[in-house]
């Protein structure tokens, strides 16, 4: 399947959907504090998204029951909101998708609740720093596998490992499109496969494990943890390739 090249007007539609994602994430960031339940955070984001004339695109997607993936502590991605009350020292990841006028947005953050340990600060920083490092190094003509390899090396140099079997992805008129973009090189040669071109829009989302990148899916069928049982982190932006470099769409 070909990777779509978006016209400027289409990128603006994607920018609008992603602006709403960014606004919802900022709202959650501001209101994350001990005593708030994950379901309250989910409802807060959904209300905001709908107030902006958009729909929460994760709700019902592949059967997911809520609007926000709330990934707590050992859960790295796809956490289902529950009645759990956030506690000082927790690490919480929020992943949000929107649809507006048939175009999709997607981004994620991980953050601490109150004061967290230096170990958890470093863990979160790895996901965020990997994401921004990758975005800064995107240029037209590089291959997606080179981008995956670049992210993997950055993560390994920080002393962590990428979560396996999950990846970034294209986005547009569907929430998940070609190409798949792992956070590690999944082939012998990074100089193979499709090249990055102007007009491409895609999501990068480093998912960080401490010791073992093997994923384990919990009994609810959604929560993904590492085989090492330790805390993880996750950051994501939607970017568009404009004038040869990546521009972040998922910002306020």
Residue 224 lies inside a defined structural domain of this protein: yes
pLDDT digits (tens, 9 = 90+) for 171-184: 999 999 999 999 99
pTM: 0.98
Residue 1 lies inside a defined structural domain of this protein: no
The tally of domains found in the chain comes to 1
- Is the model's pLDDT at 215 over the cut of 70? yes
Phi-psi domain of 110 (left: phi exceeds 0; alpha: psi -120 through 50; beta: other): beta
Buried-exposed string 4-26: b where 16+ CB fall within 10 A, e elsewhere: bebeeebbebbbbbbbbbbbbbe
pLDDT digits (tens, 9 = 90+) for 184-196: 999 999 999 999 9
Residue 3 lies inside a defined structural domain of this protein: no
Going 209 to 211 to 213 to 215, the CA torsion angle's sign is negative
Structural domain range at position 117? 8-248
pLDDT digits (tens, 9 = 90+) for 21-49: 999 999 999 999 999 999 999 999 999 99
- Is there a contact between 232 and 208 (Cβ–Cβ < 8 Å)? yes
CATH code for the domain of 120 = 3.90.230.10
Residue 2 lies inside a defined structural domain of this protein: no
- Is the model's pLDDT at 1 over the cut of 90? no
Residue 15 lies inside a defined structural domain of this protein: yes
Residue 71 lies inside a defined structural domain of this protein: yes
């Amino acid at each position: 399947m070909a990777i779509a090249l978006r016209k400027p007007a289409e990128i603006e539609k994607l920018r609008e959907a992603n602006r709403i994602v960014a606004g919802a994430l900022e709202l959650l960031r501001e209101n994350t504090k001990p005593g708030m339940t994950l379901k309250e955070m989910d409802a807060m984001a959904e209300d905001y998204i709908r107030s902006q004339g958009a729909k929460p695109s994760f709700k019902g997607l592949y059967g997911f029951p809520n609007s926000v993936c709330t990934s707590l502590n050992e859960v790295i991605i796809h956490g289902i909101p529950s009645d759990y009350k956030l506690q000082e020292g927790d690490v919480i990841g929020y992943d949000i998708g929107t649809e507006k006028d048939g175009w999709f947005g997607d981004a994620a953050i991980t953050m601490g609740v109150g004061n967290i340990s230096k170990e958890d600060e470093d863990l979160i920083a790895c996901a965020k720093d990997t994401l921004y490092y990758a975005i800064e190094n995107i240029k037209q003509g590089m291959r997606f596998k080179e981008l995956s390899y670049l992210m993997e090396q950055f993560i390994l140099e920080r002393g962590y490992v990428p979560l396996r079997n999950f990846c970034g992805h294209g986005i547009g008129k569907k929430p998940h499109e070609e190409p798949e973009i792992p956070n590690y090189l999944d082939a012998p040669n990074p100089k193979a496969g499709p090249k990055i071109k102007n007009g491409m829009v895609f999501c990068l989302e480093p998912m960080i494990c401490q010791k073992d990148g093997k994923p384990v899916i919990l009994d609810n069928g959604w929560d993904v943890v590492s085989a090492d049982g330790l805390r993880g982190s996750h950051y994501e932006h939607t970017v568009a390739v404009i004038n040869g470099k990546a521009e972040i769409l998922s910002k306020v």
